[in-house]
Structure 1
Amino acid sequence: MFAPVWSALCYNYKAIPNGRDDRRSRGFAQYSGKPTRYFVKIRPEHLQFIQTEKPGTPPPSKSLVFGHTFTNHMLTIPWSSLEGWGTPKIEPYGPLSLEPSSTVLHYAQTIFEGMKAYRDEHGKVTLFRPDMNMKRMNSSAARVSLPTFDSDALLQLIKKLIHIERDWIPREPGHSLYIRPTMIGTQKFIGIAPPSEALLFVICSPVGPYYPDGFKPIALYATTEYIRAAPGGTGAYKLGANYAPAVMPQKQVAKLGYAQNLWLHGPEHYLTEVGTMNMFVVLKKGDTIELVTPPLDGMILPGVTRDSLLSLARDHISGTYKIPKLPEHFIVSERPITMKEVQEAEASGNLVELFGSGTAAIISPVNRIGYLGKDIHVPTGEDGMGPISRPIWTELVGRQMGTIPSDWSVPVTA
């Protein structure tokens, strides 16, 4: 009785005539757009700030290694099924206290997001499309029966945390403050059920450019032994459980001289993702260039960078906004693409470029793919990028860094 009653109280599932939840019957949960708890929502006005007594100082920007340095404070918000969201606190960064029986430690009840705060040349601090991260995090929470939340309320608190830690945002071009919102199940219970307690926390890490010395195209291994996701699974969600199984296959391909796995699906070997990134293939078809990315079919993570690249490309094609140096005529396709098609494109000289996209690297160019014992060679430009990726990357980074005005840049204020 516990799990069904808890779900009825906490989740806005869509009712259908036969009384069953359609999303649950398909193993797929979607966020309804409303927070799960009706008792107490996240209340930014109740924020408590506990200042650290041992503040650290930001290290030199040149010494930054991605994900190794953290700021002085973090945001924490507890949740329980009886009381809803508790008092939000910005407190000193430090260890979390968890019971050994906490559900996150046994059943991987954890979700997370990755977003960045940027400082422009005038010192203004902005977030890039944070509404998309909040929407995706709520979707991930619903999928694993963690509590959803008011996106605007959490974003307001994240902005306050960034404002407090603003001195940790590097001023050098290409640098940023990486923001990691995370939610975990904390109930003391060894059993499979929606947790009655959870913790939402946010930490920050100053980071430099992914390629500090210029773009370095990477080699991929198209694995036919392991998969990242399957239909009806959790590939479209940012769950901790999706990432740990990818570590061992990556270690294996690293020994073969490849940087990442190219994840395939099905006997036709459809391309899905690159490592932890979305992926794009550029093909030449006669006088036409086609920018291809796999569709959001439930196995693909709906990346913020992916969506941004597609939006910019389509705006350019439609004439809504022209991107300098980007070819005038090409098409954008969200469609399935197989390794056979990539092989044939290389053999005919019609493979133009291939790259991954994500928050960390923005764009990661690829120069070869190991597949069934042979290497497929991918063209790259003098700087490592191609004729489609380079202009779009320049446009996107300009919007992130504030050199190109954009509604996607959301100011961070106290």
Structure 2
Amino acid sequence: MRKISSVLLKRSITSSFSHFSTTSSCTRSSFQYANLVVEKNTKKQRLPSDPSKLGFGRYFSNHMIDIDWDVKEGWFAPKIKPFQNFAIHPASKVLHYAQQIFEGLKAYYGVDGKIRVFRPELNMERMRRSARRSTLPDFNTREALLLIDELIRIDADLVPKTDQASLYIRPMMFATDQHLGIGESAQAKWACFTAITGSYFNYDRGIRLLADPEMVRSWKGGVGQYKMGCNYAPTIFVGKMAAMHDCDQAMWLSGEDRLVTEAGAMNLFMLWTNEDNELELITPPTDSGLLLPGITRQSVVELAKEWNLMKVSETNFTMSQLARAVQEKRVHEFFVSGTAANVGPVSEILHCDKEKGIMEKLLIPTMSSKMQLYKRLHTALSDIHYGRIEKPEWQRIVEL
């Protein structure tokens, strides 16, 4: 076991490091990178030679971060240790009351040989908001990022050296209190592991969405804006329903007005000619609390505003507005955004209009659009991810 000093922030861990004494000291307000203890894994992950065989989230790297918290003692020293199973008590609150949050971000091997993480400070701030809503302990964004940097450094050889794959990073926190009572947890665990991952979707034919107003993901006053595990379990059944209709994901509608909110676990955008005959890129607003404020979503909005090619609006729109605009051939593109998906084109929406007793198929000309905005956004983000475009404020470089 070795303890890593804060003076080594910009150096990789090697076997030549001195051995420091291990400490069990705790910090109340946040875990600290300076207290990090590292145990190297002697076993190495074997990966398929073809990146197209990776899939999403099936191959895990060699190490993980593990940090415990106690309401009386505060945060214990963080550990990076060999990737392994957790050992938790059967009465842990996470297993009974879904007191759990997580994040998803990626590291990319750049064309210049540098490893970049895309806007990770936004993920950590979102994770802290989720923690507060879940009554889980707070932590310091900077300290979390330093630990994630170190985890990536240790497993840097597993960051795919291709622009067809990346290293997916999964920070998480969950309640470990051994008590079958609903209430705040007196113990918790913060952890992070990584997965070598390929493409999430096959975009050759475009994504098909099922819109059924009876299936609801979030509601006003709920927790749709937070990245909690409890938001995802109810969507799996609806995903199976979508697959039965030859669709890839569900498109979530909300309220009597059937507001269009999200698609699967992704944000969505529509490029259309609006009722005022303006070319407009529109996406549902995050201040409603109905949808997750995605980092890729925010980046798409910011890029589109920088390009100044059309009006860009964060505004609600309804299923009836969408259907009418499609029928009037005013919808030019419809696409989704997310960490796993990047930007993906939607080619078809299957709308269950039970008031009319019909299943309405809306064909979206995204793939044949002359503007190809979705493709331009996808390319721009990929270029930033892999360092073909320098945008330092969006790129955290992990020093090796």
Match of 1:250 among 236, 239, 245: 239
Match of 1:99 among 71, 74, 89: 89
Q: What secondary structure does 2:361 align onto?
A: strand
The aligned counterpart of 2:148 is 158
Match of 1:294 among 284, 292, 297: 284
Match of 1:345 among 321, 325, 329: 325
Is the Cα contact below 8 Å between 1:40 and 1:83 reproduced in 2?
A: no
Distance, in Å, in 1 between the alignment partners of 2:205 and 2:69 is: 43
- Aligned AA for 2:361? D
What TM-score comes out, normalization by structure 1 length? 0.85
Q: Say which is worse superposed, 128-137 or 56-65, in terms of deviation.
A: 56-65
Residue 53 of structure 1 and its aligned partner are, at CA, apart by: 2.5
Distance, in Å, in 2 between the alignment partners of 1:261 and 1:163 is: 37
Match of 1:113 among 82, 103, 114: 103
Distance, in Å, in 1 between the alignment partners of 2:204 and 2:343 is: 9
Is the Cα contact below 8 Å between 1:71 and 1:165 reproduced in 2?
A: yes
Distance, in Å, in 2 between the alignment partners of 1:72 and 1:392 is: 33
Residue 380 of structure 1 and its aligned partner are, at CA, apart by: 2.4
The aligned counterpart of 1:17 is none
- Aligned AA for 1:397? S
Residue 68 of structure 1 and its aligned partner are, at CA, apart by: 0.5
Q: Are 2:60 and 1:70 equivalent residues in the alignment?
A: yes
Q: Cα deviation per residue 1:60-109 (whole Å; 9 max; x = unaligned)?
A: 23321201000111011110101111011110101100000000000001
Q: Are 2:399 and 1:413 equivalent residues in the alignment?
A: yes
Distance, in Å, in 2 between the alignment partners of 1:315 and 1:369 is: 29
Q: What secondary structure does 2:391 align onto?
A: coil
The aligned counterpart of 2:131 is 141
The aligned counterpart of 2:297 is 306
Match of 1:174 among 164, 167, 172: 164
Q: Say which is worse superposed, 297-306 or 279-288, in terms of deviation.
A: 279-288
RMSD between aligned residues:
1.6
The aligned counterpart of 1:260 is 249
Is the Cα contact below 8 Å between 1:280 and 1:356 reproduced in 2?
A: yes
Is the Cα contact below 8 Å between 1:380 and 1:386 reproduced in 2?
A: no
Q: Are 2:231 and 1:238 equivalent residues in the alignment?
A: no
Is the Cα contact below 8 Å between 1:356 and 1:365 reproduced in 2?
A: yes
For 1:15-414, list aligned pairs within 5 A: 39-60=28-49, 61-211=51-201, 215-285=204-274, 288-296=278-286, 297-317=288-308, 328=309, 330-371=310-351, 372=353, 373-382=359-368, 387-407=372-392, 408-414=394-400
Q: Identify unmatched segments of 5+ residues in structure 2.
A: 1-25, 354-358
What TM-score comes out, normalization by structure 2 length? 0.88
Q: What secondary structure does 1:262 align onto?
A: strand
Residue 192 of structure 1 and its aligned partner are, at CA, apart by: 1.1
Is the Cα contact below 8 Å between 1:116 and 1:176 reproduced in 2?
A: yes
Distance, in Å, in 1 between the alignment partners of 2:397 and 2:121 is: 13
Distance, in Å, in 2 between the alignment partners of 1:56 and 1:270 is: 45
Distance, in Å, in 2 between the alignment partners of 1:385 and 1:153 is: 46
Is the Cα contact below 8 Å between 1:215 and 1:365 reproduced in 2?
A: no
Q: What secondary structure does 1:354 align onto?
A: strand
Q: Cα deviation per residue 1:29-82 (whole Å; 9 max; x = unaligned)?
A: xxxxxxxx9735211111111111322334323321201000111011110101
Q: What secondary structure does 1:72 align onto?
A: strand
* Identity score, percent: 37
Residue 305 of structure 1 and its aligned partner are, at CA, apart by: 0.2
Q: Say which is worse superposed, 373-382 or 148-157, in terms of deviation.
A: 373-382
Q: Cα deviation per residue 1:346-386 (whole Å; 9 max; x = unaligned)?
A: 1111011111110001012111111121101111235x996
Q: Say which is worse superposed, 37-46 or 90-99, in terms of deviation.
A: 37-46
Residue 387 of structure 1 and its aligned partner are, at CA, apart by: 2.4
Distance, in Å, in 2 between the alignment partners of 1:385 and 1:411 is: 36
Residue 158 of structure 1 and its aligned partner are, at CA, apart by: 0.5
Is the Cα contact below 8 Å between 2:117 and 2:398 reproduced in 1?
A: yes
Distance, in Å, in 2 between the alignment partners of 1:253 and 1:385 is: 29
The alpha-carbon distance between structure 1 residues 381 and 226, as it changes in their structure 2 partners (threshold 3 A), is closer
Q: Identify unmatched segments of 5+ residues in structure 1.
A: 1-36, 318-327
Q: Cα deviation per residue 1:98-147 (whole Å; 9 max; x = unaligned)?
A: 00000000000100000000011121001000010000000000001001
Distance, in Å, in 2 between the alignment partners of 1:304 and 1:385 is: 27
Is the Cα contact below 8 Å between 1:365 and 1:385 reproduced in 2?
A: no
Q: Cα deviation per residue 1:139-173 (whole Å; 9 max; x = unaligned)?
A: 00000100110010011000000000011111111
Distance, in Å, in 1 between the alignment partners of 2:34 and 2:48 is: 33
Distance, in Å, in 2 between the alignment partners of 1:346 and 1:43 is: 53
Is the Cα contact below 8 Å between 1:81 and 1:197 reproduced in 2?
A: yes
Distance, in Å, in 2 between the alignment partners of 1:120 and 1:197 is: 39
Residue 183 of structure 1 and its aligned partner are, at CA, apart by: 0.4
